[in-house]
Chains A and B, each alone.
Chain A
Amino acid sequence: MRRNIIIILTFVGGLYYFLEFVLPGETGISKLIVEIGKVTLAIGACAFLLGVINLLRLHGTRVVLRRSGWHNSAALIVALFVMLIVHLVRYYSHAAEGDAVWRIYNLLWDNMRVPLDSTIFSLLAFYIVSAAYRSFRIKSGEAAVMMAAAVVVMLGQIPTGQEVTLWLKGYENDPGLWWLSRIRVDTIREWLMQYWNGAAQRGIIFGAAIGGLAMSLRIWLSLERGSFFDRQ
């Protein structure tokens, strides 16, 4: 019974948008799209506390039971509520710039959240150099092609690399030697990116889209297997 209700809900959910796409505008089915959109927006937003509850369960347990690293979990919970409360107070009190709550908000946002977020991601700069050095080896023809493409792209996107072959730009309008201007590093890079990489990416997109469409059809018609779709 439950499974049948789920199958019906899934089908109905997708049916409206499918019909809205395939049926002509005169049927009037498109008129509902705005109202349905407003309602689904509100329903979707209601899930906003799920992540918070999960985090509080995990880290709250750690704090209460004083497990290893509980002070980090306590810091997480404190940071969560401080940020949330300051945000809400700032919004509802219509705080102006310079007010105490605005200052605290900027401290949390500009001076903690932004530096922490940016710095954690910037660690990747070191890791990619180290990983490239340790593992990027020319073990086969394919690896050699990949490395050649990588080096050309890297040289073509930096001023020094472009500078090396910039002098060839002068031959652009030469009737006999115009082709020399095409072997500038930045031109080759652009050509590789647009015609080789672009084409390969398109091939990948086609494959992924067909797979995605097949998957969408399976979900819509409830043909899919898995924890959401099977009986409990």
Chain B
Amino acid sequence: MPAPTELEKKERMSAEKLVFLIIAVLVVVYIAGDCILYSLRQGFDGFWERLGVGIGAICTIGIYSFLYRENPIYRFLEHILVGLSVGYGTGVVWTEVIQPQWLDRMFGAEGQPANYLWLLVLIPGIMWYFQLSRRHVWISRFVIMFFMGTGAGGAFRGTFQFFFSERGQVIQTFKPILTESAGSLHFTWLNFSNLVFIVVVLCVLSYFFFTFRHETNPVLRGSSRLGRYFLMVCFGTIFGTTIQGRMSLFIDRLVFLYHDWLGISG
């Protein structure tokens, strides 16, 4: 099939623009009509609510236009999202953390006495911002590395508690592969499953065991090959659940469009 000529490309682009324009006009006219209808029924509250839903619909459809082709509307909405997210995050940190956990303690609030020692927090607090200066970036490393140190120190606790506590991962890997009942040993379905579990864990661990060469050790070679297959099962299950996860996101958006905006589904 011959490649489209410049004229064909231009015609196609103007046809696309026309379609985009028609869809945009239809959406705006629908929203305007919806707002007017609800303002007649429920006054300003109705108008405001439907305006909000209409704006949500514009945002949704604008983002979905990316599926056809990247376009200026999508880019614009993407930037708005980033702005709203950062603005919200900043505001929340101020009102939920800085105000109650620092300023209220420093200046005293609601029965708490003032404690101006909290002013000293400003010194390490300001150090964070030296990351923005090329010449004095070394000052920010004091506070960054202190926090990295606390995280590293905490990692010991986290790791040992996660693996070796009563409900730890290591201890719980040792599962019974025989069941005792009425004085004799039985091999039940549960024991079989436990055996599968232990074998899979060992094979997967051997796959990541790089201290010895797999080629020269037949046991390690065999178990690591099995480990690869078991990892494929694992990745397959992750893929299967990922499909569900992604579809849920789209279903939620359709609920909004069909039910909340257009009101055409139950």
Contacts and interface: CB of A to CB of B under 8 A. Distances in A.
> Do A and B touch directly, given a CB cutoff of 8 Å in the complex?
yes
Interface of A: 2, 5-6, 9-18, 20-21, 38-55, 57, 69, 71-73, 75-84, 87-88, 91, 103, 106-129, 132, 136, 141-143, 145-154, 157, 182, 191-207, 209, 212-213, 216-217, 219-220, 228, 232
B196 A80 contact: no
Given A76-B79, A153-B240, A202-B201, A112 B125 contact: no
A13 B149 contact: yes
Contacts of A199: 196-201, 204, 230
A222 to B, nearest CB: 8
A129 B24 CA distance: 28
Contact of A53 (B80, B95, B132): B132
A210 B56 CA distance: 46
Nearest to A17: B153
Interface string B53-74: 1011101100110110000000
Contacts of B11: none
Contact of B156 (A106, A143, A182, A216): A216
Interface residues of B, number: 114
B264 interface: no
Given A84-B87, A119-B63, A14 B235 contact: no
A153 B235 CA distance: 11
Interface of B: 48, 51-53, 55-57, 59-60, 63-64, 66-67, 75-95, 97-98, 101-102, 105, 118, 121-122, 124-126, 128-129, 131-132, 137-138, 141-157, 159-160, 162-163, 169-170, 173, 189, 193, 196-205, 207-208, 227-244, 246-247, 249-250, 252-253, 256
Q: Is the interface of B mostly helix, strand, loop or mixed?
A: helix
A123 B204 contact: no
Nearest to A157: B244
A81 B80 CA distance: 11
A201 to B, nearest CB: 6
B124 A209 contact: no
A79 B59 contact: no
Contacts of B233: 145-146, 149, 192, 196-197, 200
